[in-house]
Amino acid sequence: MTKNWRRLVNVSMCLLVLLLVVGCGSNAAKPAEPEVKKIKVVTTMYPVYEFVKQVGGDKVDVVMLIPPGAEPHDWEPTAKDIIQIKSAKIFAYHGADFEPVEKLLHKDVLGDALPIEVSKDVKKLEAKHAEEEEEEHGHEHGDSHDEHKFDPHAWLDPIAVQQEIKTIEQALATVDEKNADYYKQNAETYNKKLAELDEQYKKALAGITRKEIVTSHRAFGYLANRYGFEQLGIMGLSPDAEPTPDRMAKITEFCREHKVKYIFFETVTSPKLAQTLAKETGAELLVLNPIESLTEQEMKDGKNYLTIMGENLVNLQKALK
Ligand code: ZN
C-alpha cells in the first residue's frame, strides 16, 4: 500500500517537474527574441563605408554620411551628420587629409564614439603639386593653393587597403570583443580578394608600353605608384583645383607630343575639361573611376569597390598599351 502510494507521489512529482520545465520553456520563448544590438559605425565616404561593411558583416549597422553621387572632396559635416556621429560606437574616416577632421575630433562631436583614421598605418604619399610635377626639382614648397600635405587617395591601392582593413578589424574588436574572431575571419576573407585584385593588376599591367595616363583630377597617385606608371592630372589633388590656362596648354602639348589616345574622365565630377582636351587632341574619352563616391545608379546595379577596380583595369590596359 505504502509502496503504491510512494509510486504515485513519484509520478506526480515527475509530472510537476515536467510541467514546470515545459512552462518555463514556453515562457522564455514568448517575447519575440530580443534583437542583438548591432554596432553602429558612422563613416564618411564610400570606400570607408564599403570596407567597414565587409569586415563588420551582419554585426554592424553602417551609416555613410556623404550621399551617393556627391563629390566628397568638399564635404562639410552638417548638424545632422554630427548627431549621427554622436550616436555611434565608432566614427570611421579615411584621413590622410581627406576629410576636415579638425572640426570633428572633439569630445562634443564624438560623444562616446571611438574615432578611427582608417589610413593611419598606410605609408602616405606626399602631396605633389602640379608645378613640381613638371619641373621636378627646385621650387619652393609651401606656397600652394592646395592645402594637402598628403595625397589622400590611398584606397586606390589594393595593398594599402589591406592595411586599412586590418585597422578596421582592430577597431571593431576593441568595441565588440566577443565578436573579435568573426571580424578577423571577415577581414582575412576580404584581404584575400584584395590580394587577387593585386595579382590581376600586376599581370595585366606587366607588359605596358606607355608610362603616362591623363586623368581628370590627380586621384591615381597610389595606384600609379604601385603598378609602375604615372598620372598627368588636368586638375589637382582635388577636382575643384582648376588648371591655369598655362597648365592646360602644357597638358595639350604633352598629349599631342606623346600621341595620347585616351583621356580619362570620372563619373561624379564634371567631364568638361576632359572633353575639351580630347576634342583638341583627337583623343578618345574613357572612364577611370576614383571610387570616391558611387552614383545611385552604380549602387543599384550592385557595383562595389572590387567590381569598379576591375572595370578600371580594363580601361587602364587600353590606355597604357
Ligand atoms: Zn580625389
Each residue's pLDDT tens digit, 120-175: 999 999 987 655 555 443 333 334 445 678 999 999 999 999 999 999 999 999 99
Q: Rounded to the nearest whole angstrom, what is the distance from the C-alpha of residue 291 to the centroid of ligand 1?
A: 9
pLDDT score at 148: 79
Nearest CA to 280 out of 304, 251, 246, 245 is that of 251
Give the separation between CA 74 and CA 72, rounded to whole angstroms.
6
Q: Rounded to the nearest whole angstrom, what is the distance from the C-alpha of residue 177 to the centroid of ligand 1?
A: 35
Q: Rounded to the nearest whole angstrom, what is the distance from the C-alpha of residue 89 to the centroid of ligand 1?
A: 28
pLDDT score at 35: 73
Give the separation between CA 11 and CA 28, rounded to whole angstroms.
26
pLDDT score at 269: 87
Each residue's pLDDT tens digit, 123-133: 999 987 655 55
Q: Rounded to the nearest whole angstrom, what is the distance from the C-alpha of residue 13 to the centroid of ligand 1?
A: 75
Give the separation between CA 100 and CA 285, rounded to whole angstroms.
32
pLDDT score at 140: 37
Q: Rounded to the nearest whole angstrom, what is the distance from the C-alpha of residue 257 to the centroid of ligand 1?
A: 27
Q: Rounded to the nearest whole angstrom, what is the distance from the C-alpha of residue 37 to the centroid of ligand 1?
A: 35
Each residue's pLDDT tens digit, 215-227: 999 999 999 999 9
Tracing cell 515562457 back to the chain, one arrives at 27
Q: Rounded to the nearest whole angstrom, what is the distance from the C-alpha of residue 69 to the centroid of ligand 1?
A: 13
Each residue's pLDDT tens digit, 44-84: 999 999 999 999 999 999 999 999 999 999 899 999 999 99
Tracing cell 548591432 back to the chain, one arrives at 38
